[in-house]
Structure 1
Amino acid sequence: MDITNWHSEMDYEQWVALPVSGPRPSARYKHASAVVGEKVYIVGGSRNGRYLSDVQVFDLRSLAWSNVRLETELNADEAEDNGSQEVLPPTSDHSMIKWGNKLFLLGGHSKKSSDNMIVWFIDLETSHCGVVKTSGKAPVARGGHSVSLAGSRLIVFGGEDRSRKLLNDVHVLDLETMTWDVIEAMQTSPAPRYDHTAAVHAERYLLVFGGCSHSIFFNDLHVLDLQTNEWSQPQIQSDLVSARAGHAGIAIDGNWYIVGGGDNNNGCPETIVLHMSKLVWSVLTSVKERTPLASEGLSVCSASIDGEKYMVAFGGYNGKYNNEVFVMRLKPKDISRPKIFQSPAAAAAAASVTAAYALAKSEKLDFPQNFNLNFGSSLAEEDVKIKIDALKEEKRVLELSLAETTTENSRQREKIDDVNSTHAELSKELHSVQGQLVSERSRCFKLEAQIAELHKMLESLQTIENEVQILRRQKSALEQEMEHATAIKKQGSGGVWGWIGGSQ
């Protein structure tokens, strides 16, 4: 491979390991990555149970690694007082987002304890590093969460806190004001999880895929409407993908690419893609098993080189820690128009938006008396009236459609309320039955103990009865012996008196 022109010689949609000139950074997983220009920044991670704090940069032109030496924004006196102060604490399972000329690092697991999530920044121009001052209700400290950029907001979902409690809450950090807020989402939220992936589509929808609990690996897809704050689980228009956690994901031009991951036993060798507007999964390519691209805890990000899009993957763990760089050249694709997801609430919202837009458009039509559309020849006034009538008819149809959609939406909400009510009643009955079952089991245990005691008593009674029989026989034998001894004594006494009388 020609190092100076490697990107133009690659095949489309195939992973290629890049040759690296010079030393490589230490192998790792559960790090964070981001692309700045034509450079990939790698921060932190974990290796052999040890957290890392280094900042490594890979140049996609020279294919060489370099290390960034960070500095705090302390002055000389403060630096002397603090001695050898640690700039960026060793961290893993964190997230990193580029915003302006800064990298923001959110959360993660570290030996330094904190009650709430800490946001660090790295200034790309000065290499200064520090803690961002935020306001509002910050989320609890956690790792294995997801952070997605939606406009000027960072959307934080899920993760695992310091006590290993799994989370499924949603928090928002406004990057303009650095203020935290909590999203009180409606409908059924995803199960608490960590090591999942998330992406934002059309600046409105947060998609969450996969992840795991402490015993279950997920392959489900959930969608949060960031305007209505409603969760939904749309019907996927393809076969289900395998459950996984520790995978990496990146959204590019309406497609969400998922790389790697696994279930602690097997890695996922296929690179899959979700067409976000159609909600259709497909397999882009596959690699051999036990390769770095089938690892857990790897990272993937997108880069643009000479106007073309590339995916860049690094690190991971699949029985051993990796530090290779893989690149995939993507086919140029048109950006598709965002499509509302086909859940009941989203369908109603789509119909409402479409109808409102059509009504506003038709109501603003104002034709002057000398109105003339010139398409090479003037339209007759009668043709204009026909078009106006057609628009009015279309408006009427849209109004009817909107009314039907609103009615259907109300019905669906009633059904959901009924199902929730039934579920609550069944849950109460289940708890009651479970309580009765526990009580009956306790009663059975007590009866079994009493039966065992009675068996022991019966056995003891049988032994006593045997002893009584023996005593009776002994008593009878003793009585016989006493009678015999009495008879002998009487006979002996008569013989002596007779002897005495005869001698006289």
Structure 2
Amino acid sequence: MPNGPVSHNGVTSEEPKAVVAENGKAVDVQDKEVSTEGLCSISAYNQWTPLAVSGQLPRPRYKHGAAVVQQKMYVFGGNHNGRYLGDVQVLNFKSLSWSKLEAKPESAEAVSFAARAGHSLIPWGNKILCLAGHSREPTESLSVQEFDPQTCTWSTLRTYGSSPSSRGGQSVTLVGDTLVVFGGEGHGRSLLNDLHILDLETMTWDEFETTGTPPSPRSEHAAACFAERYLLIFGGGSHSTCFSDLHLLDTQTMEWSRPEQQGVTPEPRAGHAGVTIGEYWFITGGGNSRKGISESLVLNMSTYEWSVVTDLETRAPPTSEGSSLVMHTINGENFLVSFGGYSGRYSNQVYVLKTSLKSSAPLQQINETETNGITPGTNSSRKVIFEIEELQDKLGNRADFSKTSAQVVKGERNQIEDRLNQEQLQSLNLKQELANVENRNAELTEEIQLVRDQLSAEQARACKLENEVSEIQERLQKMDALEKEFELLRGEIISGSDEVTASSDQPPRGGGFWRWNG
């Protein structure tokens, strides 16, 4: 539903009607004046408002990706009428104008952005990371690509360790300096609930073992990070049902739990979008087997209390399935920006909601438990890092240390750093060995499958030969019976010949016919 005339091959179509909510009631805004002075012109809080934009509108789509970098929203890919899209569209929040970028590979050997849907975009510094997604030519493992808005180039990042299998509809969440990948739909429509973590400093993949009960396999769910430690998973769907459950993973203890939800009861949904502002997690759009979800919700992640932000008429773009949702701050005001989606038809409209909720001061991490100053679930490398930090604290607090003592501590610190470097090197070597073993295992698995296929072919051939042998045996039995009958007839013929010989002494009584029948 474009919010202005759209040109297709030189033909301008009339602007369709749009619906927004005011004071909880749906109103027609076809003839309603929409300000073009930017996001700051929006005065009403907690109401979705269609945004007037200029430039060539992107093609309507859903299951695309969107990310904000330096006052601009970048939209990659998506799906339209079953066709994967590979374009890069940019909405400038200052001028409120759309433009299309002609992105290119970083080098002749690099791979450009492949048309895809169901992928994830993560802003990282002044660049954008793109992970996973469904495409026409799926790969075996999940790749990590990077887009540089300054040079408008794509590059594929080299990662270490065992990469997750390729998938779409997963969640990718930035937790500190790591990316946490959960679930999604893999090859053959297989639903997943595995957990993989990519360390963005070393670009190394890890698959951690968790305790507790993880979420059931699902895709098209939403995920968020709270207090730089806790991963929340909400909703999603399988092939037969949609969920409204809320799961919590403590990334330090790697333990799953089910928080007790408060406030309104969210409806089951999949294909919804979410964005966080401080301790608040906003959820909009999605649907289930019965209907699309018209309510925009917010979860207080410190109390797990749900509340309704606003409600829209069903099939208005922010209630769509597969829409994107980003947050942009101007002059201290937080704006939610929704683009695209599918609710019976594909949308390319931009809707904005100015939220009245303000994030509070940084919260203390809840349910923190430590043993001897070391958090459970950390590896030896992190333990060494904590030892370095403790030495630094001691050096800062004890200003009266003598020069000799300082040199001793410095030597100990160097030893610890050497141990850390050795352990990191050993960890990389072990991960490389593990990757080699996994590759060898994959090769052996292929060989075993080949042998199994050959064995199946030989078994089929043996079965065919057995059938032929059975037929030959039946023929031999028939030949034995015929041979016995032949011997019997031969005996009768010999007996008859003897009788004829005995009667040959008598004179013939005639010839011709009698000779054969007399």
Q: Which TM-score tier does this pair reach, normalised by the shorter chain?
A: 0.5 to 0.7
Aligned match of 1:231: 256
- Distance in 2 (alpha carbons) for counterparts of 1:92 and 1:321: 14
Aligned match of 2:40: 7
Question: Cα gap change, 1:94/1:9 in structure 2, threshold over 3 Å: closer, same or farther?
Answer: closer
Within a 5 Å distance, the mapping from 1:260-271 to structure 2 comes to: 260-271=285-296
Aligned match of 1:167: 192
From 266, 277, 283, the equivalent of 1:241 is 266
Could you tell me which amino acid in structure 2 is paired with residue 45 of structure 1?
Answer: G
The SS at the match of 1:142 is coil
Aligned match of 2:59: 26
Deviations 1:154-206 (A, max 9, x none): 11001010121111111111111111111211111110100000000000000
Question: Cα gap change, 1:287/1:350 in structure 2, threshold over 3 Å: closer, same or farther?
Answer: farther
The SS at the match of 2:192 is strand
Q: Which moved more, 1:29-38 or 1:328-337?
A: 328-337
Aligned match of 1:407: none
- Distance in 2 (alpha carbons) for counterparts of 1:334 and 1:137: 38
- Distance in 2 (alpha carbons) for counterparts of 1:329 and 1:49: 33
1:283 to 2:303 alignment? no
The SS at the match of 2:213 is coil
- Distance in 2 (alpha carbons) for counterparts of 1:50 and 1:139: 25
- Distance in 2 (alpha carbons) for counterparts of 1:44 and 1:56: 9
- Asked whether the 8 Å contact 1:4–1:61 carries over to 2, the reply is no
Aligned match of 2:94: 61
The SS at the match of 2:77 is strand
Aligned match of 2:143: 118
Note the residue ranges of structure 1 that are not aligned, 5 or more in a row. 79-84, 354-359, 365-504
- Asked whether the 8 Å contact 2:38–2:96 carries over to 1, the reply is no
Question: Cα gap change, 1:193/1:113 in structure 2, threshold over 3 Å: closer, same or farther?
Answer: same
- Asked whether the 8 Å contact 1:37–1:303 carries over to 2, the reply is no
Shift of 1:308: 1.7
Aligned match of 1:101: 126
- Between Structure 1 and Structure 2, which shows a larger proportion of helix residues? 1
- Asked whether the 8 Å contact 1:277–1:339 carries over to 2, the reply is no
From 350, 354, 359, the equivalent of 1:325 is 350
Shift of 1:17: 0.3
Aligned match of 1:17: 50
Shift of 1:25: 0.4
- Asked whether the 8 Å contact 1:277–1:340 carries over to 2, the reply is no
Question: Cα gap change, 1:351/1:293 in structure 2, threshold over 3 Å: closer, same or farther?
Answer: farther
The SS at the match of 2:40 is helix
Could you tell me which amino acid in structure 2 is paired with residue 92 of structure 1?
Answer: A
TM-score, normalised to structure 1, is 0.65
1:74 to 2:107 alignment? yes
- Distance in 2 (alpha carbons) for counterparts of 1:100 and 1:207: 23
Could you tell me which amino acid in structure 1 is paired with residue 90 of structure 2?
Answer: V
Aligned length: 342
From 73, 82, 98, the equivalent of 1:40 is 73
- Distance in 2 (alpha carbons) for counterparts of 1:287 and 1:210: 20
Could you tell me which amino acid in structure 1 is paired with residue 45 of structure 2?
Answer: Y
- Asked whether the 8 Å contact 1:120–1:129 carries over to 2, the reply is yes
- Asked whether the 8 Å contact 1:40–1:60 carries over to 2, the reply is yes
- Distance in 1 (alpha carbons) for counterparts of 2:39 and 2:127: 29
The SS at the match of 1:283 is strand
The SS at the match of 2:63 is coil
Note the residue ranges of structure 2 that are not aligned, 5 or more in a row. 1-33, 374-389, 395-518
- Distance in 1 (alpha carbons) for counterparts of 2:147 and 2:134: 18
Question: Cα gap change, 1:62/1:335 in structure 2, threshold over 3 Å: closer, same or farther?
Answer: same
- Distance in 2 (alpha carbons) for counterparts of 1:143 and 1:17: 29
From 64, 79, 83, the equivalent of 1:50 is 83
Aligned match of 1:349: 369
Question: Cα gap change, 1:248/1:334 in structure 2, threshold over 3 Å: closer, same or farther?
Answer: closer
Question: Cα gap change, 1:108/1:9 in structure 2, threshold over 3 Å: closer, same or farther?
Answer: closer
Ranked by relative contact order (alpha carbons within 8 Å, sequence separation 6 or more), the top structure is 2
Aligned match of 1:297: 322
Question: Cα gap change, 1:334/1:87 in structure 2, threshold over 3 Å: closer, same or farther?
Answer: closer
Aligned match of 1:147: 172
Aligned match of 2:402: none
Question: Cα gap change, 1:239/1:57 in structure 2, threshold over 3 Å: closer, same or farther?
Answer: same
- Asked whether the 8 Å contact 1:31–1:42 carries over to 2, the reply is yes
- Asked whether the 8 Å contact 1:340–1:350 carries over to 2, the reply is no
Could you tell me which amino acid in structure 1 is paired with residue 350 of structure 2?
Answer: V
Question: Cα gap change, 1:5/1:159 in structure 2, threshold over 3 Å: closer, same or farther?
Answer: closer
Deviations 1:260-291 (A, max 9, x none): 00014311101000001111000010011121
The SS at the match of 2:37 is helix
Shift of 1:135: 0.7
The SS at the match of 1:138 is coil
The SS at the match of 2:183 is strand
The SS at the match of 1:3 is coil
Shift of 1:153: 0.5
Shift of 1:352: 10
- Asked whether the 8 Å contact 2:35–2:41 carries over to 1, the reply is no
Deviations 1:54-109 (A, max 9, x none): 0000112221100111111225xx6xxxxxx9721101000000101211100000
> Matched residues, percent identical?
46
- Distance in 2 (alpha carbons) for counterparts of 1:305 and 1:16: 17
1:306 to 2:339 alignment? no
- Asked whether the 8 Å contact 1:51–1:90 carries over to 2, the reply is yes
| Higher Cα Rg, which structure | 1
- Distance in 1 (alpha carbons) for counterparts of 2:38 and 2:324: 24
- Asked whether the 8 Å contact 1:89–1:112 carries over to 2, the reply is no
- Asked whether the 8 Å contact 1:145–1:158 carries over to 2, the reply is yes
- Distance in 1 (alpha carbons) for counterparts of 2:264 and 2:317: 25
The SS at the match of 1:163 is helix
The SS at the match of 2:262 is coil
Q: Which moved more, 1:223-232 or 1:15-24?
A: 15-24
- Asked whether the 8 Å contact 2:36–2:53 carries over to 1, the reply is no
The SS at the match of 1:67 is strand
The SS at the match of 1:105 is strand
- Distance in 2 (alpha carbons) for counterparts of 1:330 and 1:239: 19
TM-score, normalised to structure 2, is 0.63
- Distance in 1 (alpha carbons) for counterparts of 2:216 and 2:77: 28
Question: Cα gap change, 1:340/1:101 in structure 2, threshold over 3 Å: closer, same or farther?
Answer: closer
- Distance in 1 (alpha carbons) for counterparts of 2:183 and 2:106: 32
- Asked whether the 8 Å contact 2:279–2:359 carries over to 1, the reply is no
From 232, 237, 256, the equivalent of 1:212 is 237
